[in-house]
Structure formats: structure tokens, C-alpha cells
Amino acid sequence: MSKLYFSYSAMNAGKSTLLLQASHNYKEQGMNTMLMTAALDDRAGKGHIASRIGLDQKADMFAAGDNVYDMIAARHKEEHVNCVMIDEAQFLSAAQVWQLADAADKLRIPILCYGLRTDFAGELFPGSAVLLAIADTLREIRTICWCGSKASMVLRLDEDGNVIKSGAQVVIGDDVYASVCRKHWQAGVPSKP
């Protein structure tokens, strides 16, 4: 039986790098991977997964309302898919996570999801909540706070570096977030004073 995996972390932990590295490993063995990313995240360009260290790959995009099971099944019919890898999995809907579980169970394709666990307000993203509940395997990817402790939370910052405590759950951009430990998240301290 294939599994549904969820690798999660705060920002800047290397999730996209690990995804691209795993895809490369599959391809080196002559296997096909299907890469997917959220359509609303265009930081690397539409339909691209890119890491901060310079790796970049084209990817299929999913948007709200898309049936990701159907997308995977159609690709698998065209060419055998050995593994599906999804970046920005926090942006999946609950229904889409269940569709991914169906793809793992019915199509027997491993599904590897990478994403954030919580938003800047300390709340679970809808996709992450369902992944945490039903994924066969959970893996935390660690990164560190400026104090050296494990960073498990994310602060949102305005253009002057001040912490923002309210607003929309999703704002795309690397320069508007700081990964910090729980203590510094509660205190609202994004960097060493």
C-alpha cells in the first residue's frame, strides 16, 4: 500500500529543497514524479517550485476547487507516475487532502506533501489540519529561531519589520515572515534585539 506523507515546518526550513531533491532521486532511478504546487504562490513564477538555494522545477498547479485526484489519475494514465510531490500543501482544501489519500490508496502512488503547519496567528491551515489528522507518516523538518531554539511558529511583519497580529491568513512573500520559537512568537520578537 502506498502512503500519504506530510512533512511540515516553519518558514525557511528547506521544505522545497527536500522535495526537489527527492524528485531528483526518483528521476535518477528512471522513475517519473508529478510535482504540484499552489496556483496562488507565484514567488518563483507560475507553476514552479523553487528553493532559496537555487533549485527550480516546473510543476502542475492546483487551485481551490480543483480535483487533485482527477489530475493525478489523468497524468498516471498518460505516463506511469511513481510518486506525487506537493509543495505548499497548507493551501490544499480538506476535500483535496482526502483526494490525495484516495490517490495513495486507489492508484497506489506515494503522495509526499510539504508545507507549513500553522499560520502567523498560530492557527492550523485547513490543508495542514487534515494532513495532520490522516497522513500515514508525519515528519517535522526543523529550523531554528534567532535564539538557537527550534523555530515552530511564524511571525508576520510589515514593511518596517513590525509584527502584525491580525489580517488575512495568506499573504505570499518571503520577506514578510520570520520563523521563531514559541517563546519569541508569544513575545512578538522577530529578531535579536
Contacts of 120 (CB under 8 A, 6+ apart): 154, 155, 156, 164, 177
**CB of 165 closer than 8 Å to CB of 135:** no
How does pLDDT run across 100-158, given as a tens digit for each residue?
A: 999 999 999 999 999 999 988 899 999 999 999 999 999 999 999 999 999 999 998 88
**CB of 59 closer than 8 Å to CB of 36:** yes
Radius of gyration of the chain (CA): 17
- CA angle, 62 as apex, 39 and 43 as ends, to 5°? 25
- CA angle, 184 as apex, 183 and 185 as ends, to 5°? 90
Residue 167 has pLDDT above 70, yes or no: yes
Task: Check residue 142 and report its DSSP letter.
Answer: P
How does pLDDT run across 61-106, given as a tens digit for each residue?
A: 899 999 999 999 999 999 999 999 999 999 999 999 999 999 999 9
Better-predicted residue by pLDDT, 42 or 94: 94
CATH architecture of 4-142: 3-Layer(aba) Sandwich (3.40)
Minimal CA–CA distance to 159: which of 141, 172, 177, 142? 177
Mean pLDDT, residues 12-25 taken together:
89
Active site (annotated) includes residue 88: yes
At 156 the pLDDT is 86
Mean pLDDT, residues 173-189 taken together:
84
Strand 137-140 with 153-157, pairing: unpaired
At 43 the pLDDT is 64
At 182 the pLDDT is 94
pTM tops 0.85, yes or no: yes
Residue 175 has pLDDT above 80, yes or no: no
Active-site option among 88, 123, 140, 159: 88
CA–CA separation, 128 vs 91, rounded Å?
Answer: 8
